[in-house]
Structure 1
Amino acid sequence: MNDGFSSEIRVAEDDHRSGDGSYDATARIVDAGSTDDDGVVEAALRPRRLADFPGQPKVRDQLGLVLEAARRRGAPPDHVLLSGPPGLGKTTLAMIVAAELEQPIRVTSGPAIQHAGDLASVLSSLTEGEVLFFDEIHRMSRPAEEMLYLAMEDFRVDVIVGKGPGATAIPLELPPFTVVGATTRAGLLPAPLRDRFGFTGHLDFYEDADLETILARSAGLLEVESDPDALAEIARRSRGTPRVANRLLRRVRDWAQVHGTGRVGLDAAHRALALFDVDDIGLDRLDRAVLDALCRRFGGGPVGLSTLAVSVGEETDTVETVAEPYLVRQGYIVRSPRGRLATPAAWQHLDLSPPAGAQTPLPLSGETDAGRLG
């Protein structure tokens, strides 16, 4: 494979997954042939180098400086923490860190590390300079977190042998390595763990122009003919998220191949996105269900998150992490201490008039951005 990622790749997790739940991502990448699974294609569309990573200019420049300085010193860089909503490129950046350092990467996740022994198994198998990527690092168990503190700072772990008064701690020296942590909930990370990351980068939603660049590159890798106005339309409805943009591109491609000429044009984009319930501003079924429940059933609020989630038949975490960030960012919902409130923009989008007495969201004292309430 070259840096342009001209061929698709397939991730063969089962072949190289360890008993502790981690796996060597470098060894996992094999040729895909004609496989066209969504997960396979998504992996194939990831940029391999920092220079090819579109958007997030501040994080990209800062991370590039950290990696270049480490290369010149000939030592592993500081540990890296990446935070932000799902689908913005945290995993991609972790893969890029390893590629820029020309080191292997071992991938695991917070939920997979439930015991200190799980983490000790992963750490003891690392080689010098290797990158250890923790996805959803905030979900790691507390005993494993405490072991990770010592490993990140002193590159050693204490393995406890035995139980009770006869237990002894055997120190295990580790080679220098770099931890890359990704989290969608940075506030849930304990301060001692967060402070051990030398570089912290927050990824924000992308501008439409950056998404168009991503879509043009993805269309080329997928060998799909496309029109710029169609890519612009897809980008506008992608909620500022590259993962959503690439998924919508594949669905428009599917529609064009089945019902059209195979070319991703503006008409194909309009028809395909309408078929998959993506409206003119990128709201999907769940987003509209949340707005509809908030306005029609609860008179615009305030209403509690759990009540709102039950009314749309979803889990609380799904509403809070999937629907709310975009709705708040677009100014359709306000998160207040008393509950969720619909803004005038939400009523207007649903072609509804607020009932008499409906509460209008107002910023808290000293707060000018209503979307940051809560």
Structure 2
Amino acid sequence: MSTGPADGFGSEIREADGSFEATARVVDAGGSDDERVVEAALRPRRLAEFPGQPRVRDQLGLVLEAARRRGSPPDHVLLSGPPGLGKTTLAMIVAAELERPIRVTSGPAIQHAGDLAAVLSSLDEGEVLFLDEIHRMSRAAEEMLYLAMEDFRVDVVVGKGPGATAIPLELPPFTVVGATTRAGLLPAPLRDRFGFTGHLDFYEVGDLVAILHRSAGLLGVEADEAAVREVAGRSRGTPRIANRLLRRVRDWAQVHGGGHVDHHAAREALALFDVDEAGLDRLDRAVLEALCRRFAGGPVGLSTLAVAVGEESDTVETVAEPYLVREGFMARTPRGRTATGRAWAHLGLQAPAHAPQQSVLPLDDDGPGRLGG
């Protein structure tokens, strides 16, 4: 996979000779070029290779096969779910299955209608446009996208004031694949223009084991079954985390264990990188420690809890809290955050009688909110 210079906000990826060749025009601040190349190499190329998510995989496969038989682009596709579950991978697979190029950009990069118009006007017939974090597009760009998705045209406004003229620009048929971690933030008119919506759920340990065996083979890592299961069990049900932990375990084995990844190497490496048996990292445990030891299990407001662990409120709320709530370590109540019985047990502490035994979410909690903040 080759990566070109960063000279814009789009990225075009074409499949050639069975592998993806990318001319990237977006800079990912989340890691080095080498890390991005490795992550891209671990992505499945075809729908049949995509592990887990059987419901979404089967539904999407039906949509794509029907479009191929008709000889027309498929309906627009919206993929939602937490980070790291494969939304970008599925977007690449859509293009590969259709044997069409894919143009990649993101919602934050499209802040003006003109930005979107430039991308749309350069699309070829049948091309796939992947919009990551689509819920973060500007309102003006969203309104332009409505018309483009439905009628395959955009109105380009020339001039200003009373003399402004809207020039309709016809577009070739194309397919939008949108990805979002916050589907509830998408306006209804935009959601309604997607013919297929798939929600990705967290993976079972068995699926993560299959993913890790495949990744180990691609990375040239010799890994025991016990080691792979150890990594899978601490990966939060997320393939991206599983692959990242596998690379760190590989590093430990190369330095301390002769290169072979066994159960001992996995446990030692994960302990070194502060990932415990439940998949909790340093921040997760700091939040639970603060809840139980400093605030007697709560309830405590989000901002107070963030100050106690030395992090920003948004970091605690978006990074640590979702997993702690999902796994039953923390409860969200109208009065604030509280530690559950499982949190006390995980820390080896005696839970008070008032501690809830599982996480509780308010019925109207559709977003991050600031409960008890």
TM-score norm. by structure 1 comes to: 0.89
Match of 2:21 in 1: 29
Q: Is residue 2:330 matched to residue 1:342?
A: no
AA at the equivalent of 2:159: G
**C-alpha contact 2:236 2:279 (8 A) present in aligned 1:** yes
Q: Is residue 2:78 matched to residue 1:81?
A: yes
AA at the equivalent of 2:21: I
Q: Is residue 2:202 matched to residue 1:214?
A: no
**C-alpha contact 1:79 1:198 (8 A) present in aligned 2:** yes
Q: Which moved more, 1:181-190 or 1:335-344?
A: 335-344
Quote how far apart the aligned CAs of 1:358 are: 5.4
**C-alpha contact 2:233 2:279 (8 A) present in aligned 1:** yes
Residue from 327, 330, 334 that aligns with 1:330: 327
Q: Is residue 2:251 matched to residue 1:263?
A: no
**C-alpha contact 1:78 1:199 (8 A) present in aligned 2:** yes
Measure the CA separation in 1 of the matches of 2:62 and 2:323: 31
Match of 1:230 in 2: 227
Match of 2:147 in 1: 150
Q: Is residue 2:243 matched to residue 1:246?
A: yes
Distance 1:66 1:200, change over 3 A: same
AA at the equivalent of 2:85: L
Identity %: 78
Q: Is residue 2:275 matched to residue 1:283?
A: no
Distance 1:174 1:366, change over 3 A: closer
1:174-206 CA-to-partner distances (Å, cap 9, x unmatched) read 111100011111111111111111111110100
How many residue pairs are counted as aligned between the two chains?
353
Measure the CA separation in 1 of the matches of 2:46 and 2:65: 13
Match of 1:197 in 2: 194
**C-alpha contact 1:299 1:358 (8 A) present in aligned 2:** no
AA at the equivalent of 1:245: A
- C-alpha root-mean-square deviation of aligned residues, in Å? 2.2
SS of the aligned residue for 1:37 comes to helix
Quote how far apart the aligned CAs of 1:133 are: 0.4
Q: Is residue 2:58 matched to residue 1:64?
A: no
Measure the CA separation in 1 of the matches of 2:359 and 2:111: 43
Quote how far apart the aligned CAs of 1:320 are: 2.3
1:46-88 CA-to-partner distances (Å, cap 9, x unmatched) read 0000000000000000000110011111111111111111000
Structure 1, unpaired ranges of 5+? 1-8, 368-373
Q: How does 1:290-329 map to 2 (within 5 A)?
A: 290-329=287-326
Measure the CA separation in 1 of the matches of 2:267 and 2:76: 44
**C-alpha contact 1:255 1:268 (8 A) present in aligned 2:** yes
Measure the CA separation in 1 of the matches of 2:193 and 2:319: 29
Residue from 15, 38, 41 that aligns with 2:38: 41
Q: Is residue 2:164 matched to residue 1:167?
A: yes
Match of 1:3 in 2: none
SS of the aligned residue for 2:178 comes to strand
Match of 1:109 in 2: 106
Measure the CA separation in 2 of the matches of 1:192 and 1:40: 36
Distance 1:228 1:62, change over 3 A: same
Quote how far apart the aligned CAs of 1:253 are: 0.4
**C-alpha contact 2:156 2:166 (8 A) present in aligned 1:** yes
AA at the equivalent of 1:88: L
Structure 2, unpaired ranges of 5+? 24-31, 365-370
Moved beyond 6 Å, runs of 4+? 359-362, 364-367
AA at the equivalent of 2:229: A
Quote how far apart the aligned CAs of 1:291 are: 1.2
Quote how far apart the aligned CAs of 1:304 are: 2.4
SS of the aligned residue for 2:14 comes to helix
Quote how far apart the aligned CAs of 1:36 are: 8.3
**C-alpha contact 1:161 1:169 (8 A) present in aligned 2:** yes
SS of the aligned residue for 2:131 comes to strand
Measure the CA separation in 1 of the matches of 2:66 and 2:164: 43
**C-alpha contact 1:341 1:361 (8 A) present in aligned 2:** no
